Structures are given as C-alpha cells and as structure tokens.
Amino acid sequence: MQINRLGFIRVAAASPRLRVADCDYNRVEIQKVIGKALAEQVQIICFPELSLTGYSCGDLFFQETLQREAIASLQELAHFMLEKPTLIAIVGLPVRIGNTLYNMAAVISANGIMGLVPKTFIPNDREYYEKRWFAPASTLTVPSIAIGTEEVPVATGGMLFRTPFTTFGVEICEDLWMPAPPSSLLAMQGAELLFNLSASNELVGKHRYRKSLVQQQSGRCNAAYIYASAGMGESTTDMVFSGACLIAENGTLLAESERFSRESELIAADIDLHTLRHDRMINTNYHPPGPVTLIDCTMEPVLPDRMLRTIPPHPFIPSEARAEENLSEVFNIQTHGLAKRLLHTGTEKVTIGVSGGLDSTLALLVTIKTFDILGLPRKNIFGITMPGFGTTERTYGNATKLMVSTGVTAKEISIVDAVKQHFRDIGHDPNEHSVTYENSQARERTQILMDYANRIGGLVVGTGNLSELALGWATYNGDHMSMYSVNSSVPKTLVASLVRWIADTQMEDSSRNILHDVLDTPFSPELLPADEDGRIAQETEHFIGPYELHDFFLYRMLRYGDNPARILFLARVAFAGNYTDDELLKWLRVFYKRFFSQQFKRSCMPDGPKVGSVNLSPRGNWRMPSDAIADSWLKELETISDKS
C-alpha cells in the first residue's frame, strides 16, 4: 500500500515508563518503544519533555552528573538509530551551553543528531518553577554545539526539519499554552507536522482543555499536531502525570492514549499530507514570514499493510455524537435562507412540487418550518402533486397524505393530458420512451409550478439536491429550475439523514409514519411507466450508481482536491467488503464523465443556501467552465485499471 506516494505519513506519540534521574533506564525504555514503533511502520515518533532524565528531577538538573548522563544517553540513542533509516525520533533532555541550562528537544535520524530545539517559553507559576533551572530560547546565541564528534545545529530562531515526505517543526509544552505559540510561526514557515514534547500534570478538567488546545492548534495551523506528555513514572511529590498523548489533524482528533497507564503508551496515526497541502494552497495567506533554518533529514519510505486512520464512507453524514447539533444546524440554515428570500421579496406564498420522494419531502419540511418561524399560515404553502406516466400509488399516496397531515394546501394537477398534447404538437411517439419522453414531463411540472406561483403571487421552492447537481441528474429548465432551491447544497445521503431526524424529533405520529415510508422508497424520478405490479420501474441508482459512492467521490474531489488514484484508494478503505474494485472503478468513471459534461446545468442554477464545505454554486465555491474536458482524469483511471 503506497501511502507515501498517496500523500500519507505515519506518526506516533509515546509516553514510556521511566525512572526519575535514571538516564540509562529511560534510554532503554525509549529504545523498546522505538522498536514497537518500527513494527507499526511509524516514520516519526515524539517522546515527552525531558524524557531522557524525567521531567520532575528538580534541583538535580543542576548536577553535572545528570547533565553528563543525559548527553551520553542521547549519543547512545543516536547510535541505536543509525540502522533505523525509516524512522526519526524526537526526545527531550537538559542541555548545558556555557553556564546556562536549556530544556531541549533533540531530533535524531539514521544520520545522527540532526538538531536541538530549546523551549521558548519557560513557566514560573504555582505548579511549574522551570525558570529556577532553565533559560528561554531567546537567550541562546550559539548556532550549534559539539556533542561528541558531531557539531549539532541549535535553533536560535525558526528551525524546520525537512524529510523526503514532509517538513516538521518542534515546540515544547508551555509553548502551546501561550498566546502566540512557536508552532504557529513554524506552520507559516512550512511545517506540516508540529510535535510537542510535554510534561503536563493532571488536574480536574485539565485534560479536556489540553485536548481542545491540541485540536484548535492543528486546525488553526492547517497541520497535524502530535503531542506526547510525561507519564506516571514521574515523581508524585507534588504533581501526577498521566502520559496523555494526542494526535490531531486540522482540528480533528485522530488518536488518543490511555491515561494513567502503568505501561509505556504508544499511539500512531496516518496523517493526510495531501489534504493539508490542498487546504494551504487554497488559503493564500501562507506566506513564510522571516528566515528559518532548514535541516534536511533522510528517511526511507515504508510500505504499510494497513491504514491507521478511519476513512468515513459517508463524509456528509455527522457522527452519532454530533448528529443532533449538525442536523439541527443544516435545517436551520435551510429554513432561515428561505425565510430571508421570502422577507426580501415580500412573498407570503409558495408553490412546491411534492412527489412522495425524499428530496421534495425535505424541501416541504423546510418550507413548513420557515412559514412557522415567520408566523405565516401553512395554507399559504401550495403543495402540488403532479402524477404522470410513471407515478406509483405508493409515492402518490405518500405525497397526498403528507400534505394533508402537515396542513398545507394540497393540489393535484395531472400532467398526462398536457404532455400527450405536447407530444402531438412536437410529433413525438408516446411509445418511444426516450429522453424526450422523460424531459417533457419534468418541464411540464416546472411550468405548472411557475405559472401557479405567478397566479397566487408566490415563488417556487426548488427540491433538487447537491448529488443531482454534481451528476447532472436533472432536466435542464425542468426540475433543474426554481426561484429558491433549499436543498442545493445538501447531498442525497444527507437528505435521508435529515428527513429521518426531522421525522423522529419534530413530527407527530401521523406524519412520522409517512416520512418513514418515504425513506424506504427507492430513489426514482418516476418518468417511465411502472411495472406490471405497479411498482417503480426506473430506479435511479441502477442507472447512475449508488449515491453513497457518488457523494464520497464528490466530497473527496471538491473538499480535498483528491485525484482519481487517491479517491479510488480511499474508497477501497472506506467501503471495504461492500464493493469490488471493478464496481468502484465503474462508478468512479461514471462520476467523472457526468460531473464534467453536466457543468452547464450548474452554471445557471438558482440561488440556494450553503450548508457545508462542499457546494457547487457558480457564484460561490465552484467556478468551472462548462466546456472542460475529463480526459486526464479518465486516463488516470485507465492507468490504475491496467496496473490492477
């Protein structure tokens, strides 16, 4: 699995067992953990602050014996790393320079000790008295120091470590807790990974705040933040340390250690460098401020046999823990977007096509909520069901019952006779079930909605969703058009989640049962006649593929700029066991072909509220020429297919 080539790197944070002031013991434990990290195919590992000596040595830091043993252990650890060309380790120790002592992080690779980074901010509060022992980085004046026969660079300003795969920076404990952490500057200077060697004691509620800091800093810096804190081997004279280790990426926590473990702790995660770089490319404020020292570190690639991160198969659907908050926010954005449009236009009536399908159901629920918020009577919502050649009893019945149960004005206008007349006018054989047969029905329905809206002095609420816009699964100037499209940035998978949430949390039993049956109805435009048993004959996903796949493809392409190879690789991980490689390739080809060829429909799509980070409005998130060619993307897929 070529995760390096696909933009991933495996990192780890560790909190080894230690003995206070026993450098030999601590070095051996660190080496054991490094062995475990190598078995996990980790590429960069971070250990806690002062991990070679222990953080809680107190005035023993002034002892020349401890200082000498720390440097000797560092040298032995560097020798141990000589035959570890795939791994870089970051450890902490006290380093004396002249008559001044510094709290430092040492970066070690197979090429030796690559650099020393001092702690920038030295705490001197009720819990930490580090200024008694250590000086801040600002007092450093020498660019390097001799350790054995090596001359090791020392960071007197920004220092970055550049590998063949990524660039990273280092800060120490208190640095993160300050108003302007050094990691912020390091990120601006190009660090994609930020490592923190820490010794943060435990207090009631502190871990929640610590975790929040790590996540926030990773998000603020568009980076991965790897945090390793001292564990229970530290002295408990005054404080207790839990071995808290955290790995976050761009605001999301990827891994967390078990705290208060009596054993050495190691957590690892695969960082998506491609995604971080994509976000930084879009954010044009990443201009490196000031000079920086670059240290080149060699690192050989590894070939992991599995991913150490979860790839959500349904990225638009919130997790169970966040469902209530996120779905409520989406619903509120939709309703308040429509409310503003109604207030701005002075409109108190709307028409909406109600088919008994999911999209029109969600649009109707949004409209009802909007009218309730504005204090407008629901009877001013004119729900129009327009049965045609493919309408089934199930969808017709659900549409009618839903309008009645929610108290909107229900209208039924059959399109059959009008469309037959239209076929006669244009000379189309009604037995020829071509695109003309289908689109004539969609455009007739839109004409009815528009003209009825004119008649009542209202506007048309659109029902089409984001997935349909991406695939062009809409009739141009038919269901493609409205006066305000409330679902335009809600993908199909999220439509279902929203309708289910609304049904279960905000509807009475009579409406809830109808909504659950709508949820169980296959997706269909119902433009072709039903089968002999009166069931839907035209199921959308049989023609264009599963919406869950297309929503995944769309999210990865637009949100992260992923190329076909990455999307296919991530889809294999996310949908493992559900789809074969051939199926994934087939539907990914369909996605690219339709996405490129159907841009002309998106170029003139109506207004609608943006609810998430992925949106196809030509006025907002997505500006694409209608005549762009998909050949390069499809060729890449063919190359992948040939190799497999």
Please tell me the chain's helix, strand, coil percentages from 3-state DSSP, rounded to the nearest 5. Answer: 40, 20, 40
Residue with tokens 């609810």: 611
CA angle 13, 241, 38 (to 5 degrees): 20
Yes or no: say if 217 and 188 are a contact pair by the CB < 8 Å rule.
no
Closest to 507 in 3D by CA, of 520, 518, 523: 518
Cβ(432)–Cβ(331) below 8 Å: no
Distance (Å, whole) CA 307 – CA 291: 36
Catalytic center residues: 49, 119, 173
Length of the chain: 644
**Residue 336: which residues within 8 A CB-CB, separation 6 or more?**
370, 373, 609
Instruction: List residues bridging with 136 in a β-sheet.
Output: none
Backbone angles phi, psi at 398, to 5 degrees: -65, -40
Rounded to whole angstroms, what are the CA distances from 619 to 179, 375, 622?
A: 37, 31, 7
- Contact present, 227 and 13 (Cβ < 8 Å): yes
DSSP 457: T
Rounded Cα gap, residues 390 and 375, in angstroms: 37
Q: How far apart are CA 112 and CA 149, in angstroms?
A: 11
Query: What sign does the CA torsion over 487, 493, 495, 501 have?
Result: negative
Report phi then psi at 489, rounded to 5: -120, 20
Fill in the amino acid letter for 160: L
Region of 110 on the Ramachandran plot (φ > 0 left; ψ -120 to 50 alpha; else beta): alpha
Q: How many CB atoms lie within 10 A of CB 208?
A: 9
Residue 201 contacts by C-beta under 8 Å, 6 or more apart in sequence?
127, 239, 240, 241
Burial class (CB in 10 A: 0-12, 13-18, 19+), 434: exposed
Residues with Cβ < 8 Å from 42, sequence gap 6 or more? 10, 11, 12, 87, 268
Query: What span, in angstroms and rounded, lies between the C-alpha atoms of 401 and 399?
Result: 6
Token pair 């944070």 is found at 13
**Closest among 217, 157, 190, 215 to 286, alpha carbons compared:** 190
- Parallel, antiparallel or unpaired: strands 293-296 and 159-162: parallel
